Amino acid sequence: MPTARALTTRRFSIFSLLVLLLFTQIVWAQQPGGPVGGDTRTAPAPNDAQLGIMPPPLTMLDVVEGRLAAYTKSDLPHGIYFEDLKGKSVLDINADQYFNPASVTKVMTSLAVLERYGTQYRYTTRVWYTGEFDKERRAITGDLIVEGDADPSFVNESAFSIGEKLREAGIEKVEGNLLVGNGLSLNLRRAALPAGAQFLALVDRARWNRVSENAWNFFEQVRTYGTALKSIPIQYEGVGFPNAKVLPDDGRQPRKMLLEYRSAPLVKIVKVMNAFSNNDMAHWLGGMVGGAYGVREYVISKIKLAPEEIRLETTSGLGNNAVTARAMVKILRYALGWCEKNKVALTDLLPIGGVDVGTLAGRFKQPELVGSVVAKTGTLNRVSALAGVLYTRSRGPVLFAILERGLPNSLRVLQEEIIGIVATECGGTQAVAFGTEMGPSLIEDAQIRVAVDRTHN
């Protein structure tokens, strides 16, 4: 039987062991990540938000690239470059990659022809007569001769205006033929005799058909800003040619000056071409400076683009042309300087988004963008382009070129998004106009002078 001393020693040993186990459990529980309630798992490390560390904000480039990726899964089909007047890049995505600029090419054509001929150049169409002007009978006893400078803006309304002016001058009838000289054009038709036949069918009321009546009604609507009533009888009388044939003029007959028709200034013709992106007119004007070769040489010599920066097949943008977004911005920078030097505004050459008629009439209608984008559009099959100037509050005029491959309808929406993003980054927009200064017709700016007393041999 154990003694009292042995029992006491055993109890002390058990008590000491229990105290040691309890102390060890307390120490473990106080260690970071130590076991609590028997859980031996490691606690997760706190994240940046728990530690108060915020991720860096998205840059404008991040936002734009995100939109491009959402559209095409890549930014490769897009060449985008924005630059302020100080030459500082605002946005650069594939700025040195080649893209087809489509009708943005017309900006180059516009500058080339305006620099060659001047903003106030006017085409002249001249009307002569042979024989005599019998004032009592109100008749020309000989032929009427029409020649011109190949005016691309000479259209149906021009012929109607001449017919009205001749009638006002007391001429009701021409007893001879209509002789057609060099340079007569009508509705962008260069062939002189067909243009002459069409001219005769418009000037002589007795030769009208349904097409002529529709053309007159359109003319009335245009010059009255749409207020003319279609139910009002046609008031046009014009000049009769009861026995006339349309024949070429050999230049031999003595003749007297009857009338000069001078077109609207060239700068206004260019604005109409760009607003409506008229390809035929672009080919016409481009031909005056040597075609695509002449326009390209102009861009290289005057704007100082390197030859490898531009390829042109046409002056309208049809076909396989190529330029980089950075080079296009360089052309726009030159355009701004040229306009300032020649005392015209860029808005005299290019349409205003959401304000002017034409390809930009229905775009940039958002209140924050309307009137602040002056640009040229470009569209081909799976090609969409836009280049011009965005007027901003904090960065001033920002030159840009957006050249893209894809479906044009979708890309137009994307282009407006990109411009909106850049505008926000630049402190918002500064509208240059809220109303258009474009007239309903170029006839408004044409000049007609009647003179029946000058002789030309």
Residue 326's nearest CA partner among 347, 344, 303, 346 is 303
Nearest to residue 261, comparing CAs of 127, 432, 378, 90? Answer: 127
pLDDT value of residue 27? 47
DSSP label of 13: H
What pLDDT sits at residue 71? 82
* 143 and 216 Cβ atoms separated by less than 8 Å: no
The span from the CA of 355 to the CA of 438, in Å, is 10
Instruction: For 170-203, write each residue's pLDDT tens digit.
Output: 999 999 999 999 999 999 998 999 999 999 999 9
Query: Quick one: what percent of the chain has pLDDT higher than 90?
Result: 73
Question: Under 8 Å CB-to-CB from 120, ≥6 apart: which residues?
Answer: 265, 266, 267
Mean pLDDT by 10 residues, the chain (457 residues): 50 50 51 52 66 76 90 81 97 97 98 98 97 95 96 95 95 97 93 94 94 87 62 77 96 94 97 97 98 98 96 97 98 97 97 96 95 97 96 97 93 95 96 86 92 54
| Distance from C-alpha of 255 to C-alpha of 128, rounded to nearest angstrom | 6
Domains and CATH numbers, the chain: 60-118+267-425 (3.40.710.10), 124-263+441-456 (3.50.80.20)
**Measuring CA to CA, which residue among 277, 262, 340, 325 is closest to residue 90?**
325
Q: Are 446 and 164 in contact (CB under 8 A)?
A: no
